[in-house]
């Protein structure tokens, strides 16, 4: 059940690479993120209000730390999409699956041999996606470099989320991290951009969909799942995101894959089931 839930939100994230790519063609990355996560935070407020009487400052601090790292990941990803394709962004973001096990190990978390094997196989599938076409999709430009920084941030976020969801109420962690992303994005937008609400219907559609589905729903599911999973295993399941990004990039934007890239479309999941709780 948890694996299915992760796959659903991964498919949503793969689809929204296309929406974000189209959105940042009209609006700056800070303002796009601000509007997206303001919507997500508003949707999370009912959960937050129910816990205001019992929450403590440490609960907000616990949500602020992964929220700041999540902001860095989304900022680099959204900024990178200004300069690279939706497919390349999705594929390079998948590097996080390779980075999670060593980061988790450095943070003192135990990772099973089966999970290490899954990460290696997922990395192999990602390599085929990135390097297997007629024209390699590897990091060759500024947008790709920004997306590599995004992958590093997302890997660290998964490790932090794994740690914090094991030590308290996961719902008290969910809403504050969305609010931190919205707040930091607003600060960046008012310093470096010119915020405006005069946007095309297409861009508003992208903001609403990414805010409701790819942020509020997706991070609720991710935070819920992470209570009984491991960062490394979650990363392996999320490694299917590049395949979804490639699929939707092809269906909606006409971007194409070729050669051995098709073989890399689905990383193997050892046993295809969740680890013991």
Each residue's pLDDT tens digit, 23-41: 988 999 999 999 999 999 9
**Domain hosting residue 47, numbered range:** 2-267
Count CA atoms closer than 13 A to 146's CA, side-chain side. 19
Distance CA 96, CA 49 (A): 33
**276 occurs within a structural domain:** no
pLDDT of 100-139, one tens digit each?
Answer: 878 887 877 776 677 677 667 766 765 665 554 444 444 4
Our count of domains for the chain comes to: 1
Check whether 215 has a pLDDT greater than 80.
Answer: yes
Q: Which of these, 6, 148, 155, lies nearest to 77 by C-alpha position?
A: 148
Q: For the whole model, what pTM was predicted?
A: 0.79
Q: How much of the chain is helix, strand and coil, in % rounded to 5? A: 75, 0, 25
Is 133 inside a domain boundary?
yes
Instruction: Give yes or no for a contact between 6 and 234, defined as CB atoms under 8 angstroms apart.
Output: yes
């Amino acid at each position: 059940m948890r694996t299915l839930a992760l796959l659903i939100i991964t498919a949503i994230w793969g689809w929204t690479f296309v929406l974000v790519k189209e959105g940042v063609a009209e609006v700056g990355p800070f303002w796009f993120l601000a509007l997206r996560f303001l919507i997500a935070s508003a949707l999370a407020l009912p959960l937050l209000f129910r816990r205001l009487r019992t929450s403590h400052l440490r609960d907000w601090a616990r949500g602020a730390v992964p929220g700041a790292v999540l902001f860095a990941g989304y900022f680099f990803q959204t900024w990178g999409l200004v300069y690279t394709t939706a497919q390349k962004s999705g594929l390079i973001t998948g590097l996080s699956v390779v980075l999670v096990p060593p980061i988790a190990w450095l943070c003192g978390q135990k990772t099973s041999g089966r999970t290490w094997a899954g990460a290696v196989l997922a990395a192999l599938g990602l390599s085929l996606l990135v390097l297997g076409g007629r024209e390699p999709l590897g990091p060759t430009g500024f947008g790709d470099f920004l997306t590599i920084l995004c992958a590093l941030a997302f890997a660290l976020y998964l490790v932090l989320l794994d740690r914090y969801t094991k030590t308290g109420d996961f719902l008290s962690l969910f809403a504050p991290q969305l609010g931190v992303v919205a707040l930091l994005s607003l600060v960046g937008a008012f310093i470096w951009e010119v915020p405006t609400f005069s946007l095309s219907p297409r861009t508003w559609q992208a903001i609403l969909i990414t805010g409701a589905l790819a942020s509020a729903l997706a991070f609720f599911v991710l935070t819920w799942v992470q209570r009984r999973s491991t960062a490394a295993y979650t990363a392996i399941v999320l490694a299917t995101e590049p395949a979804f990004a490639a699929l939707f990039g092809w269906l909606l934007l006409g971007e194409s894959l070729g050669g051995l890239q098709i073989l890399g479309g689905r990383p193997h999941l050892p046993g295809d089931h969740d680890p013991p709780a």
